[in-house]
Amino acid sequence: MTSSPDTPLLLKVLAGEATPRPPVWFMRQAGRYLPEYRALRATTPDFISFCLDPEKAAEATLQPMRRFGFDAAIVFADILLIPRALGQEVWFEAGEGPRLGALPPVEGMHDLTAGAGEALKQVGQTLSIVRSQLEPERALIGFAGAPWTVATYMLDGAARTIGKGERAQARTYAYAEPEKVAALLDVLVEATAHYLKMQADAGAQVLKIFESWAEGLPDDLFESLVLRPHQKLVGRVRELGVTVPLIGFPRGSAALAERYAAEVGVQAVALDTACPLEVGKRVQAIKPIQGALDPLLLRAGGPMLDRRIDQLLEAWGQGPWIFNLGHGILPDVPIAHVEQVLKRIGAQ
């Protein structure tokens, strides 16, 4: 079935259609590299308060769309809003990033899971504002952190005595207390499913699952911490009546990305910077892919940036592919380099 002329290019690719060029958007495309964002952000010192201000978050979401005309906007929010909805204290230290309080009892979180969407309804309000102002040919993306990635932050306090470093602590805790970690992941699956449903109801046309800390996991942990929770999350989202396509991003999963593509019911798989082109081709044979330009190369610009874009176009451009970075855009990326990418792929 052929889509209408106004159907966003991103949705065409996710439906398996051939397109004259890949749709393009960047992770963290709304943010600190834009002077207009820095001015807006300065109006609200507390980051979480900024994320939960629908008018300001909508403006941050729309700023890169006005400047660059990306094929999709992604709602301005943060993956650590879910722990807050589950009763864990969350705050951001200037120059240091997120901090979380002690992990509440997992048993007590169960009663909060179904209300996660309502608890974060401001994100839905942001999506509604953006959708009302976004051109119909541009897609709107909602997102959430994947259960394991969110758990790594939530477990920091609980695993404090086991080892140092957020991910090392959480992974050690997964070995030492697998039942407790599994129980937390189940809570996060349920809460995240309701959160994603709320976003779809508010106008998100695509939902992305960010598994930022899939890297370095042996295959048995990858199965228990990434594959199974993602399978459960996708299944639960569908049970709640959500029909929009899902993009999974198992960052750092290397060759396990093929298994992820085959076993998780997302409609596309986002690939990270280190994913070899040949692995990307194999994943693309299973379902559409997204990625995977190095953000540091985007920062550097110049002829090497053009060369890598051409390599990606040659390797993946004949199949269903969404052009993106392999990780988020960096705060000091020159705006001219973003324009260079868009011109090179024919999006400007």
272 is in an annotated binding site: no
Q: For 96, phi and psi rounded to 5 degrees?
A: -120, -25
- Amino acid letter, 151: A
Separation between Cα atoms, residue 48 and residue 155, nearest integer Å: 20
235 is in an annotated binding site: no
The catalytic residue among 53, 84, 138, 153 is 153
- 153 catalytic residue (yes or no): yes
- 175 catalytic residue (yes or no): no
- 308 catalytic residue (yes or no): no
Separation between Cα atoms, residue 224 and residue 287, nearest integer Å: 23
Separation between Cα atoms, residue 81 and residue 144, nearest integer Å: 9
327 is in an annotated binding site: yes
Please state, as a whole number, how many other Cβ atoms lie within 10 Å of the Cβ of residue 241.
9
- Amino acid letter, 293: L
32 is in an annotated binding site: yes
110 is in an annotated binding site: no
The catalytic residue among 53, 71, 78, 272 is 78
138 is in an annotated binding site: no
**Among the listed residues 194, 195, 74, 192, the one whose alpha carbon sits nearest the alpha carbon of residue 127:** 74
The catalytic residue among 41, 67, 99, 299 is 41
Separation between Cα atoms, residue 306 and residue 266, nearest integer Å: 31
78 is in an annotated binding site: yes
- 41 catalytic residue (yes or no): yes
The catalytic residue among 21, 32, 308, 344 is 32
Separation between Cα atoms, residue 11 and residue 8, nearest integer Å: 5
Q: Which residue has the tokens 């199949």?
A: 319
Residue numbering of the annotated binding site for substrate: 28-32, 78, 153, 212, 327
Which active-site residues does the annotation give? Answer: 28, 32, 41, 78, 153
Residue numbering of the annotated binding site: 28-32, 78, 153, 212, 327
